[in-house]
Amino acid sequence: MALSLAHQLADFACSLEFEDLGSNVVHEVNRRLIDSLGCALGAWSEKPCAIAREVVSNFSAKNGATVIGTAQTAPPDWAAFANGCCIRYFDYNDTYLSKEPAHPSDNFSAVLAIGESIAASGRDIILATAIAYEVQCRLCDAASIRARGWDHPTYGAFSTALACAKLMRLDPERTRHAINIAGVNCAAFRQARVGELSHWKGVAFANAARHGVYAALLARGGMTGPAPIFEGAMGFEKELGVSLGNVAEVFDKTKEAVPGEGPASMILKTSIKYWPAEYHSQSAIEAALHLRNQIADLSQVKSMVIESHDASVDIIGSEPEKWHPQNRETADHSLPYITAVALIDGEITDKQFDPKRFTETAIVSFLQNVEVKRNDELSALYAEAVANIVHVTLADGRTLTKRIDYPLGNAKNRLPDKELESKFLNLAAPKLGRDACDHVLEYCWKLDQMKGVEKLMKLCEVPA
């Protein structure tokens, strides 16, 4: 009999060693850790992140993990939740686009929590992260779940459980049970990203990470979970209405996502965000900023048309709320607003997602002259390219047009290390100060030489 997917995943994770990773994969994990910590510190003061810390402050743990920005040690699952809220909330962490989209650096909240709690080495942290990226991205390649009403963090319960099981050095059987426990109630509703959005849009994966940590800890203790979790008569595939097909076949050491980069190299196919907005808008932002440089008098702009691909239109460019955002979560998931404000302000930063900005009368009025259209050619290129075409019509009748296929930070247009450091400093320096940020950067770049991450977490403590 063919082994179940859970068996395949467990065997894959348990068999990998740090030496199997390509040097570019190791470097990319270091880059994503820097990016994730920057995103977490940048969003640290936001309301849902503060709420999570307040809730978690009621709990402590002997062998716990640090809540980012504090000296508190909490149970690893709660630390994963609090830290996951911060990493994700600004919608500024990395992206993978396929049949299902994902933000795979969300996995760091679980990896850091368990890694610190068991004093895992820097190499162990890197390996577990690469495994989490590999699993989540491969599942996204296998089947889309959003069209059936399920949210992409659903896959994150599996990736975080596997990463944590690897860190705790569970054997294949207990690793498989971690997968089974993670999967039995992992399905998250897509309602989190529909209509007027709530805090939960930015913290849904944090909950999946918490669940993955919890599942792995239970499996370590000997708890068994229902099987086969994917293929069973009432398992994942049947209940979610999807087929994961032959995804199991790629989880072995001979199947490299990027030739020559090792068996856990999917991270090299993921993209870093250059602007703090939903990924499908990144090329539209870049195009709008390019056009702005050609317009001497912005008062002469009369209308805007954005041609985009189906995924972009469906996710951030079709609901009425996108033309009348009432909160940050909706504004940073609104293709018309993001593109329009990039043209008007000449930048996309946290300031553009202040309610005072996106509810301004002039902005709301201009949005009524912004149209989003589907473009079949761009849809056919997705997700290889993440293209947008922006047309701006002026009072004199001229129309200016710019198309961007691979925005800065895309896997095919990589963000240079110096630019990545600048992004980190812009986000983290207001919280930590420049000297502390320099120490964090130095630590992350040398993670493979470090004994663990406890010192790194201390470096990220926000001064009172």
pLDDT digits (tens, 9 = 90+) for 406-456: 999 999 999 999 999 999 999 999 999 999 999 999 999 999 999 999 999
DSSP reduced 3-state for 325: coil
pLDDT at 361 over 80: yes
Average pLDDT score over residue span 278-301 = 97
**Summary mean pLDDT of the chain:** 96
Give the residue carrying structure tokens 């199991």. Answer: 248
Higher pLDDT, 62 or 93: 93
Cα distance between residue 160 and residue 173, in whole Å: 17
Confidence of residue 36 (pLDDT cuts 50, 70, 90): very high
Structure tokens at 453: 């991450």
What is the share, in percent, of the chain residues with pLDDT greater than 90?
95
pLDDT at 395 over 70: yes
* Superfamily of domain 279-404 in the CATH hierarchy: 2-methylcitrate dehydratase PrpD (3.30.1330.120)
pLDDT attached to residue 287: 98
pLDDT attached to residue 3: 86
Which of 348, 308, 329, 48 lies closest to 194, judged by CA? Answer: 329
**DSSP codes joined into one string, 113-160:** HHHHHTT--HHHHHHHHHHHHHHHHHHHHH---GGGTB-THHHHHHHH
Structure tokens at 24: 């570019």
Distances (CA, A) of 159 to 212, 213, 340: 8, 10, 36
Confidence of residue 250 (pLDDT cuts 50, 70, 90): confident
pLDDT attached to residue 329: 92
Cα angle for residues 221, 224, 203 (degrees, 5° grid): 80
Q: What is the CA radius of gyration of the chain?
A: 22
Confidence of residue 464 (pLDDT cuts 50, 70, 90): confident
Largest CA distance in the chain: 73
Instruction: Tell me the helix, strand and coil percentages in the chain, rounded to 5.
Output: 55, 10, 35
pLDDT attached to residue 27: 98
CATH number, span 5-274+430-459 = 1.10.4100.10
Cα angle for residues 315, 320, 323 (degrees, 5° grid): 90
pLDDT attached to residue 88: 96
pLDDT at 1 over 60: no
* Domain coordinates in residue numbering, the chain: 5-274+430-459, 279-404
